[in-house]
Amino acid sequence: MKRDRKPWWPALAVNGLLAVIAILALFPLFWMVSVSFMRPGEADSFPPPLLPSAPSLTAYKDLFAHQGMGRDFANSLVLATAATLLSLTFNVAAGYAFAKLRFAGRERMFQLLLGALVIPGQVAMIPLFLMLKPLGLVNNFGGVLIPAAAGVFGIFLVRQYALSIPDELLEAARVDGAGEFRIFRSIVLPVLSPIMVTLATFTFLASWNDFMWPLIVLSNDHLYTLPVALASLSREHAQDSELMMAGAVVTVAPVLLLFVVLQRYYIRGLLAGSVKG
Amino acid sequence: MRRLGAGWWFVAPAVTIIGLFFFVPVVAALALSLTDFDIYALADLGNLRFVGLSNYRELLANPLFWHALGNTVYFVVLGVPLSIAASLGAALLLDSRLARFKAFFRTALFAPVVTTLVAMAVIWRYLLHARYGLINYALSGIGVSPIDWLGDPRWAMPAIILFAVWKNFGYNMIIFMAGLQTIPEDLYEAARIDGASALRRFWHVTLPGLAPTIVVVSLLTITGYLQLFAEPYVMTQGGPAQSTVSVLYFMYEQGFKWWSLGTASAVAFLLFGLMLAVTVVQMVIARRSQVL
């Protein structure tokens, strides 16, 4: 038998370091869950306890019974779902057309849209707020959704993917007399379905995690999304560690779950986005 | 002809939305920044006056604005290199042939990226707590006396930077991993045959191969970090002693706390100008050194 001459320590160093980084990355999440099950006041002691002495649901009961977190959760869910559907409706059609349909001004318009990527969204926020106010869309879900409905990134994502659709496929359908909308529905959409999952995942997570715009548009706490509600809660109940951690769990658990299930699609979108520079 | 029309119908809804609710507001923001739009104008547009560049002049004479700009630049100058170094280090480890359980490690290291910023900021505020925080507890283990992370003007921003690195390094890590895949294996092979050490292979093969990726990643990270807002909003509310007031935090307070929407628009444009300048400078440097 041959002896393995490779030294054992580089493999140990690489995997050991990876394990340390993974612990650092996951520890705050683990601690969040752990503290959320502690009895009120238990986390405020020194040294800080790692695990609850007797797991308790007090913080969660308080959140849903007294702090209205169930309503915030529903708001977030409704908004993220609606944003996802809108984004799919508008961006997929536009992305496909920019890739595969010829029309006057196509290239120039696409360049203009890409140019918009260098403008930070916050520049538009103040006038948009003033525009939405007379329309009755301030303090209204419509106002939160409008900027999310269509976006340059979404169009770009779909366009890059749609470029790979063979023209012959579309031409053949046209020769058979199919209209452009029927071609889109029955040929293009099935081909685009993987990138649609990517776009949906991206939009849902971005909408769920969004903070600054909902904070500006929504002033009535009955309409708050989870991040806005949590931020407001943390300004009022800063001392109540267990309550805050339970709020964080409720906010983060759905997106973490969604990511773990759909991470392949999510990472594809992330890589497409980084090529834009 | 029929196809000519169809293309328009497909893009019209999206382009209309982006035009109406992004391009129009951006132009309007420029106009707004030249007015004294305030709470009185909000009630009655008759109170609105054109003031030329005086919002910009007043901002450039306002110490708090410079303070906010300085804090933001501090966050970027320290935070971006640390984030990129962490991302690159993690990517190299994950890319190593010796690494096991790659899928698990990749998911674990990326998890902070997809979490909700506000929720993580809440958690970190407790981790950084001066008395009960686990970070101080861990530091006491190696003999460091407790630091009042978020209560001490000298430490508040470094603490936020630490949090930002933790939250974001996974994002660029994924981009670096894709970049590493594009470096041909024979380059490493050739270097190995020439007897180059691991460090020299990293310096002469990996880094040049990653140069375009590094340019893209630093551009995205700098422009992203210039938009610092939620971290100070949740963790410090700009304090202590305004040491964590960022440009966007300043804009938010001007606009939606004091309703000086003209001034706030001017702040937004100054930030945009800064981001544009950074982008142009980076592109020029990258072109000159023939990286892109």
Q: Distance from B63 to chain A by nearest Cα, in Å?
A: 22
Q: Can you identify the CATH homologous superfamily of domain A62-274?
A: MetI-like (1.10.3720.10)
Of B14, B28, B122, the CB nearest to A244: B122
C-alpha to C-alpha distance for B262 and B247, rounded to whole angstroms: 15
Residue B137 lies in a domain: yes
- Structural contact between residues A187 and A169, judged by C-beta atoms closer than 8 angstroms: yes
Q: Distance from A182 to chain B by nearest Cα, in Å?
A: 11
Domain borders along chain A are 62-274
- Residues of chain A contacting residue B257, judged by C-beta atoms under 8 Å apart: none
What lies within 8 Å, CB to CB, of B26 at 6+ separation is A119, A123, A124, A127
CB contact under 8 A, B25 and A125: yes
Q: Distance from B115 to chain A by nearest Cα, in Å?
A: 6
- Residues of chain B contacting residue A235, judged by C-beta atoms under 8 Å apart: 237
Q: Of A87, A167, A150, A64, nearest to A113 (Cα)?
A: A150
C-alpha to C-alpha distance for A213 and A217, rounded to whole angstroms: 6
Residue B29 lies in a domain: no
For residue A167, which amino acid is it?
A: D
Q: Of A115, A134, A120, A147, nearest to A213 (Cα)?
A: A147
pLDDT at A276: 43
Question: Has residue B161 got a pLDDT over 80?
Answer: yes
C-alpha to C-alpha distance for A187 and A200, rounded to whole angstroms: 20
Q: What is the pLDDT of residues B165-203, one digit of tens each?
A: 999 999 999 999 999 999 998 999 899 898 888 889 999
C-alpha to C-alpha distance for B51 and B36, rounded to whole angstroms: 6
In Å, the largest CA–CA distance within chain B is 78
CB contact under 8 A, A212 and B111: no
pLDDT at A272: 79
Residue B37 lies in a domain: no
Using a CB–CB cutoff of 8 Å, tell me whether A139 touches chain B.
no
C-alpha to C-alpha distance for B195 and B188, rounded to whole angstroms: 11
Of A15, A130, A267, the CB nearest to B99: A15
Question: Has residue B2 got a pLDDT over 80?
Answer: no
Minimum Cα–Cα distance from A207: chain B residue: B116
Of A123, A211, A252, the CB nearest to B230: A211
Q: Domain containing B141: what range?
A: 56-288
- Structural contact between residues B72 and B228, judged by C-beta atoms closer than 8 angstroms: yes
> Which of A8, A21, A187 to mutate against chain B (most B CBs within 10 Å)?
A21
What lies within 8 Å, CB to CB, of A126 at 6+ separation is B25, B29, B32, B255, B261, B264, B265, B268
Neighbours of A118 (CB within 10 A): 15
Give whole-number Cα distances, B83 to A55, B76, B89, B191, in Å: 36, 10, 10, 29
What percent of chain B lies above the pLDDT cut of 90? 84
What lies within 8 Å, CB to CB, of B129 at 6+ separation is B136, B149, B150
CB contact under 8 A, A25 and B108: yes
Any idea which residue has 């009961």 for tokens? A61
> Which of B8, B22, B93 to mutate against chain A (most A CBs within 10 Å)?
B22
Residue B21 lies in a domain: no
For residue B5, which amino acid is it?
A: G
pLDDT at A274: 64
Residue B150 lies in a domain: yes
Query: What is the residue-averaged pLDDT of chain B?
Result: 93
Q: Of B180, B225, B107, B105, nearest to A267 (Cα)?
A: B107
Q: What is the pLDDT of residues B72-127, one digit of tens each?
A: 999 999 999 999 999 999 999 999 989 999 999 999 999 999 999 999 999 999 99
Any idea of the CA torsion for B236, B276, A199, B88, to the nearest 10 degrees? -70
Q: Of A268, A119, A138, nearest to A215 (Cα)?
A: A138
Using a CB–CB cutoff of 8 Å, tell me whether A147 touches chain B.
yes
Residue B15 lies in a domain: no
C-alpha to C-alpha distance for B112 and B281, rounded to whole angstroms: 31
Q: What is the pLDDT of residues B198-225, one digit of tens each?
A: 889 999 999 999 999 999 999 999 999 9
Report the CATH number at residue B75: 1.10.3720.10
Burial of A103 (0-12, 13-18, 19+ CB in 10 A): middle
pLDDT at B4: 59
The pLDDT averaged over each successive group of 10 residues in chain A (277 residues) is 68 95 97 94 85 93 94 97 97 96 92 92 94 94 94 94 93 91 94 95 95 96 96 86 95 95 88 61
- Residues of chain A contacting residue B24, judged by C-beta atoms under 8 Å apart: 127, 131
pLDDT at B1: 43
Of B10, B216, B271, the CB nearest to A274: B216
Residue B62 lies in a domain: yes
CB contact under 8 A, B3 and A102: yes
Minimum Cα–Cα distance from B273: chain A residue: A119
pLDDT at A257: 95
ipTM of the complex in this document: 0.92
